Structure 1
Amino acid sequence: MTDSAPSGPIDILVIEDDPDLRQLLLDELTDADHRCAGKGDLSSARQWLAEEAPQLVISDLHLPDGNGLDLLEELHRLPVRPAFIAITAFGTIDQAVDALKRGADDFLTKPLDLDHFSLSVTRTLQRQQLEQELGYYRRLLDQGEFHGMIGRSPAMRQLFTQIRQVAQADGPVLVTGESGVGKELVARAIHRESDRRNGPFIALNCGGIAANLLESELFGHAAGAFTGATKARRGLFAAADGGTLMLDEIGEMPMEMQSSLLRILQDGKVRPVGSNAEQSLDVRIIAATHRELPDEVAEGRFREDLFYRLETFALDVPPLRQRGDDIERLIAHLIHQFNGRRQQPVDGLSTEALNLLKRYPFPGNVRELGNIVERAVTFCTGRLIGPEHLPDRVHQLPVSPPAASGNRWQPPTEDDTLVSLEAVERSYIQYVLNQVEGNKKQAADILNIGRRTLYRWLETDD
């Protein structure tokens, strides 16, 4: 082992001017599977620490160019301070008390007992990990954790309030929002906040089952109802009795099944396929979709009466791009989650990487953010995620309206008089739609509004 650091992230930095003792400590730490580096003075240690972020610094107090406790003061100013063990050949009680008061995690005197040294390193690292875990959970509480959802933005606080309110009722709920926003988390939160929390919660993706099998999956079947049905089987409605059944992607449900679902919502009875007997069940339905159901109704693909029955309690989950600083809270939560799979944890993101993510529109929302952070944590070899760890699409700015002189938006006027704010907004929305050739999703991204909001504007305009 030499004073140069091995490749890859370092756990421990040893600062000791005695080369023989420094090498002995490095060998001891390496034998315990730590990755470590050694320096002989404060100057070279400071240069190294400017580029690296170890978990632990072990430093002699009397060094050729200063006192190791001066370095400890500097470590306190870092975003994530490493633990610190002080070593000295001139140990006194007053010196030990001073070191501990200034933030040292332990104080050892020479000649070192290597067993005591190893025990001190182990306990210090364990204590640091525990403090980081406690700090994470304290931050999580500050961030507004609610049944697995992270957020303190106004949009999410409003959603959490609506979930609590809707949970006290017992009618069907319609959860809408773009793909990846976390509609199933919302459904589970409603269930857990309700009096049904001790009953079953079952989720089914209506778009993931063939239409000819969906009826049997939901309602069950009697023995001999069809070829291969050798015995009776209860469906998901019966399995969810006393609890909640989430029907995800309700917009994919065939029209004939929509009629059956409407009947169940009206009378609470289910008839298994091939049976004449009806079963009375107590099941709350939570439907979810990324589609605009009013458009589906207009196109004849979704029953209007079922839509109105479902939207009695409608919750719209905001897209990530409308949640402000929640993105930073989510990134911290995801990094902690994925750190559990790594031997060397990641502390966070560089400023440049964070700025790239904050300006990215996230068409895939929280699910896409999770994939991006998992990829970054996997490929990051240091303590900070940098731009190089992010996928290429994040480096590209979102599309914005062109500013060519002959194609600029001009505010509307009426005989050179001032017009209302509403008229200005309508004009700009139409301008953006023209620039993206009518692509409503792209227009909503540029305008930083939800597609439902855009549709409401367009309906009013008509």
Structure 2
Amino acid sequence: MEASQRAVPAILLALMDEQEARNLSWALSIHYECIIVSSGAEALGLASTHHVDAIICDAQLEDMSGTQCLFDFRTRQPTAIRFLCGLGTDSGEFADALHVAAVYEYLRKPLFPELVALSLKRALEYREISREHRQLTHDLSRQLKSKAAAADSNPDQSPHQFDELFFCSQAMNKICNLAKHAATTDLPILIYGETGTGKELLARGIHYHSHRREQIFLAQNCGGVPAELLQSELFGHRRGAYTGALSDRLGLFSAADGGTVLLDEIEDMSVSLQANLLRFLQSGEVKPLGSDKTHYSDVRIIAVTNVPLDQLVEQGSFRQDLYYRLKGLEIRIPPLRERPEDIRLLAEHFARQFSMSLGKSYAGIDHEALNLLRQYPFPGNVRELENEIRRTVALAPSGQPITADRLSDTIINYRRKEPEQPTPATEGGTLKEHTESLERGMVISALKRFHGNQSRAAEALGLSRVGLANKIKRYAIDIEIA
């Protein structure tokens, strides 16, 4: 039963004493829909067909312990609030309830309906407040960063925002428009991009623009994680499933039921685990390590990689059927060097952000420093730019602009060695011919550096846009050379 179809919250009473269950149900039915069962099997079976807001469970049921029932129920409906009730004489019962079943409260018997109703009311209010807090915090963060980006932006460039991604380039605008459309679907998404381009931020943006935004977003890096441990992280395990498994564990796919799971560096996943992931994508089936029972979870998968998976498929190290299943929609984030117009916006955004965090007054970035940043190819992409600005702001005096001499030697020296200007011959030819050859070489070098962008090249050469166009025509330069 969907939450939107219920007029009142649903409470599951898994109690051995039938009379106690009826009395409690009668008292709670004024505000809640109450469902009574007496065994763990009934409770877990109902979890597959009904949404439950809270479950009150006896410490011992007909067929299993209450702790075990609540743990299994948690894997099926992670958002349900769990109560364990008993005589409170066994200290080990408290520890299991806390660490294994993650109960909200232990209710001592006999159960007083008024006190149970109060605990339920507070628990449901707390859950709603927590949900609203997460959403409001996220929305406020987006608004503040959006205002900062607008304040930092060049008046000639129109800043855009997709969740926590900031940009003004047409390339990123196209990508984020595609991501917004992708967010309205439940298809798996494969995001490809070089390290540091903002793949996880794009994935989070997709989640927070989807109908799952009120549910949890969890991320797991698959790189460098042993296959058995990664299997446990994703699907969970039972105590004793392998050496070191000292307690039951709830996997990410169960914990994120109704939400989104990001799988980073998916290319490093073992072939055996790829088969389990494929099965989950096809059926939603989750089987913890060491368990003979399966349950189902509704999770949207977003896979992230910096390696073209089609190449790994050709090499035989990645399953072809999983590749096609993951790329329900495929999005490629361009590296920063392909969208240099974003550099100023991002640099000023990071500078303002880090100045604020360090308690410094922000005075901007001077023109020469921005030129150096725009000329550098940033092999580490946005992450490298962010680290560069963080270091520069930390070293710069408060209230003074960031100048070119404060940038790292790597960026400063790149400018000095980057232009590839032809050296005139020492003999032969007139001064005019040598001058024109040098000038033509500088124009070609600037066009290459800015990938054919004539406005940027003209600015770097100290020319007007018309002046550069005249030189291109005069020297018959093919602007496609860049």
Q: Shift in Å at residue 133 of structure 1?
A: 11
- Aligned partner of 1:395 among 412, 417, 425: 412
More deviation in 224-233 or 391-400? 391-400
2:330 corresponds to which residue?
A: 314
1:139 corresponds to which residue?
A: 151
- Aligned partner of 1:264 among 280, 284, 304: 280
- In the alignment, the residues of structure 1 paired with residue 151 and residue 380 of structure 2 have an alpha-carbon distance, to the nearest angstrom, of 26
- In the alignment, the residues of structure 2 paired with residue 377 and residue 335 of structure 1 have an alpha-carbon distance, to the nearest angstrom, of 6
1:204 corresponds to which residue?
A: 220
Give the structure-2-normalised TM-score.
0.54
- In the alignment, the residues of structure 2 paired with residue 134 and residue 323 of structure 1 have an alpha-carbon distance, to the nearest angstrom, of 20
Q: Shift in Å at residue 209 of structure 1?
A: 2.1
1:35 corresponds to which residue?
A: none
Counterpart contact for 1:244–1:286, Cα < 8 Å: yes
Query: CA 1:307/1:372 → structure 2, altered by over 3 Å: closer, same or farther?
Result: same
Q: Is 2:288 aligned against 1:245?
A: no
- In the alignment, the residues of structure 2 paired with residue 261 and residue 334 of structure 1 have an alpha-carbon distance, to the nearest angstrom, of 37
- Aligned partner of 1:376 among 392, 395, 402: 392
CA deviation map 1:308-343 (0-9, x unaligned): 111120011111112232111111110111011334
CA deviation map 1:18-76 (0-9, x unaligned): xxxxxxxxxxxxxxxxxxxxxxxxxxxxxxxxxxxxxxxxxxxxxxxxxxxxxxxxxxx
Amino acid at match of 2:151: R
Q: Is 2:367 aligned against 1:355?
A: no
2:94 corresponds to which residue?
A: none
2:475 corresponds to which residue?
A: none
- In the alignment, the residues of structure 1 paired with residue 420 and residue 351 of structure 2 have an alpha-carbon distance, to the nearest angstrom, of 36
Structure 1 residue runs without a partner (length 5+): 1-131, 406-444, 450-462
- In the alignment, the residues of structure 1 paired with residue 376 and residue 363 of structure 2 have an alpha-carbon distance, to the nearest angstrom, of 22
- In the alignment, the residues of structure 1 paired with residue 359 and residue 328 of structure 2 have an alpha-carbon distance, to the nearest angstrom, of 49
Amino acid at match of 1:263: R
Q: Shift in Å at residue 260 of structure 1?
A: 0.9
Counterpart contact for 2:375–2:450, Cα < 8 Å: no
Query: CA 1:402/1:299 → structure 2, altered by over 3 Å: closer, same or farther?
Result: farther
CA deviation map 1:248-274 (0-9, x unaligned): 010111111111111111111011001
Query: CA 1:339/1:403 → structure 2, altered by over 3 Å: closer, same or farther?
Result: closer
Q: Shift in Å at residue 389 of structure 1?
A: 1.1
Query: CA 1:227/1:138 → structure 2, altered by over 3 Å: closer, same or farther?
Result: closer
Alignment of 1:435-446 (within 5 A): none
Alignment of 1:35-114 (within 5 A): none
Amino acid at match of 1:386: T
- Aligned partner of 1:334 among 347, 350, 356: 350
Amino acid at match of 2:252: L
2:174 corresponds to which residue?
A: 158
Q: Is 2:236 aligned against 1:220?
A: yes
1:167 corresponds to which residue?
A: 183
- In the alignment, the residues of structure 1 paired with residue 400 and residue 297 of structure 2 have an alpha-carbon distance, to the nearest angstrom, of 54
Amino acid at match of 2:249: R
1:234 corresponds to which residue?
A: 250
- Aligned partner of 1:280 among 296, 314, 317: 296
Q: Secondary structure at the match of 2:223?
A: helix
Q: Secondary structure at the match of 2:195?
A: coil
More deviation in 301-310 or 192-201? 301-310
Amino acid at match of 1:390: L
Amino acid at match of 1:152: C
- Aligned partner of 1:191 among 207, 218, 226: 207
- In the alignment, the residues of structure 2 paired with residue 137 and residue 328 of structure 1 have an alpha-carbon distance, to the nearest angstrom, of 11
Counterpart contact for 2:337–2:378, Cα < 8 Å: yes
Query: CA 1:140/1:341 → structure 2, altered by over 3 Å: closer, same or farther?
Result: closer
Counterpart contact for 1:271–1:279, Cα < 8 Å: yes
- In the alignment, the residues of structure 2 paired with residue 189 and residue 246 of structure 1 have an alpha-carbon distance, to the nearest angstrom, of 12
Alignment of 1:115-130 (within 5 A): none
Query: CA 1:401/1:269 → structure 2, altered by over 3 Å: closer, same or farther?
Result: farther
Amino acid at match of 2:314: A
RMSD: 2.7
- In the alignment, the residues of structure 1 paired with residue 359 and residue 229 of structure 2 have an alpha-carbon distance, to the nearest angstrom, of 45
Structure 2 residue runs without a partner (length 5+): 1-143, 424-447, 453-482
Q: Shift in Å at residue 218 of structure 1?
A: 0.8
- In the alignment, the residues of structure 2 paired with residue 306 and residue 263 of structure 1 have an alpha-carbon distance, to the nearest angstrom, of 9
Counterpart contact for 2:149–2:166, Cα < 8 Å: no
Q: Shift in Å at residue 229 of structure 1?
A: 2.4
Q: Secondary structure at the match of 2:239?
A: coil
- In the alignment, the residues of structure 1 paired with residue 215 and residue 145 of structure 2 have an alpha-carbon distance, to the nearest angstrom, of 32
Counterpart contact for 2:227–2:270, Cα < 8 Å: yes
1:179 corresponds to which residue?
A: 195
2:21 corresponds to which residue?
A: none
